Chain A
Amino acid sequence: MYRSTGFVSFVLRRLTGIALVLYLIAHIWVIGSVNGGPELFNSRLAAVQTPIFKLAEVALLAAVVYHAFDGIRLLIVHYFDVTEYRKSLFYAAFVVSVILTIAGGLPILLFAFQG
């Protein structure tokens, strides 16, 4: 295995991409149940309101934010001659993702565990 920051970004990009697809399936499973009537919808919605799913929501936020900023990083590489700054760009995307995950994740958890 040839380890590098590029490899880390490659693996994270794939893992977060798979996570987002899995989330989309779960999302459709819940939202799609509205066709089955209010009782079915409410029961499925209740199934994803547990504390473990609140933690999963924070993980989802992290996946969305990282995947988005990694995409922006790649767009910058594609359109500008910046391969010289490849490591800095990766660290920037990663740090911004962590900051936004904390900023968005804290309110989710505070709201979930207070109420």
Chain B
Amino acid sequence: MASPVKSKSMATIRVQRFNPDSDAKPYMQEFQVPNLQGTTLLDALHRIKHEQDGSLTFRRSCRHAICGSCAMNVNGRNILVCKAPLQGQLDRKGAVTIKPLPYLPIIKDLVVDRSTFWNEYLRVKPWLVPPATSPEKEFRMSPQEVAALHNAETCIMCGACYSACQVVALNKEYIGPHALLKSFLRVLDPRDSIPGERLAEVGTDEGVFRCHTIFNCIDACPKNLNPTQAIETLRRLAQKRTAFEAARVERQRTIAGSLDAEVTPAAEGGVGDVP
């Protein structure tokens, strides 16, 4: 790998700073850190905080790309800094630009206010609402039904998609790709008993019909999920909400039956009904 940055021993980290107590507006500040192989951007930020400027503020927790705390805007793209190698992000001059997630109010430096993100998340009731009658031992789902949920269930709620979305930038009433993806997960789950209510909530001009199909959510997602496709699926289901709801009731009758009951997902309110 003959990279032009490899010859530089130091890397330049340009960080957007903002302290609401003393600054009128955000400004850029440069730091120099050793350009070492195996260093992540989060390591570089830690190094700055520990050795150069303790006031540098950012969110981080697990360092394993699973807590979703450290999503930031690096060179114009929303990524998780804990899983981004420093050398992979440096430009020809050996510099990288780190800003907070765009379109959200800045609390301090790289920390943004995620209130709207969480409020919209709660709005779609992200939890599973089981049917009144539960099976004695277990819910039986087919492999197809489980596979259909894979697009949504590994979301880590980092906010990269939400703050990359231009519709969110223009309209804070928009539910947002993260919450719509979660709603998709619940609507398609055959164990959930309120798909009709969910589709009524997201099937509005503040939900799936507000999406302008810009695809930034797909490009930003660090887990390679596809919120746009989930939104497209919800759009189709919202248009035949009553029929889908009836199919789900029938499907749950099958789930709640004995373990010996034949599970026919494609026929009864399962993924077979999803276009």
Neighbour of A77 across the interface among B78, B213, B219, B220, CB < 8 A: B213
Closest CB-CB distance, B232 to chain A, in whole Å?
6
Number of A-B residue pairs at CB separation under 8 A: 48
Q: Which residues of B contact A50 (CB under 8 A)?
A: none
Closest CB-CB distance, B218 to chain A, in whole Å?
6
Asked if residues A74 and B214 are in contact (CB atoms below 8 Å), the reply is no
Which size bracket describes the interface of B in this complex?
A: 20 to 34
Alpha-carbon separation in the docked complex, A5 to B165 (Å) = 13
Q: Residues 207-251 of chain B: 1 if any A CB is under 8 Å from the residue's CB, otherwise 0?
A: 000001111101110000010110010010000000000000000
Asked if A27 is an interface residue, CB under 8 A from chain B, the answer is: no
Alpha-carbon separation in the docked complex, A4 to B214 (Å) = 8
Alpha-carbon separation in the docked complex, A77 to B229 (Å) = 9
Asked if residues A7 and B216 are in contact (CB atoms below 8 Å), the reply is yes
Q: Which residues of B contact A2 (CB under 8 A)?
A: 76, 78, 102-103, 163-166, 169, 216, 220
Q: Which residues of B contact A77 (CB under 8 A)?
A: 213, 228, 232
User: A residues 87-107 with Cβ under 8 Å of B?
Assistant: none
Closest CB-CB distance, B100 to chain A, in whole Å?
13
Q: Is the contact region of chain B dominated by helix, strand, or loop, or is it mixed? A: helix
Neighbour of B213 across the interface among A3, A6, A81, CB < 8 A: A6
Q: Residues 1-31 of chain A: 1 if any B CB is under 8 Å from the residue's CB, otherwise 0?
A: 1111111011000000000000000000000
Asked if A83 is an interface residue, CB under 8 A from chain B, the answer is: yes
Asked if residues A10 and B232 are in contact (CB atoms below 8 Å), the reply is no
Neighbour of B215 across the interface among A3, A4, A78, CB < 8 A: A4
B residues contacting A by CB (< 8 A) are 76, 78, 102-103, 163-166, 169, 212-216, 218-220, 226, 228-229, 232, 235
A residues contacting B by CB (< 8 A) are 1-7, 9-10, 74, 77-78, 81, 83, 86
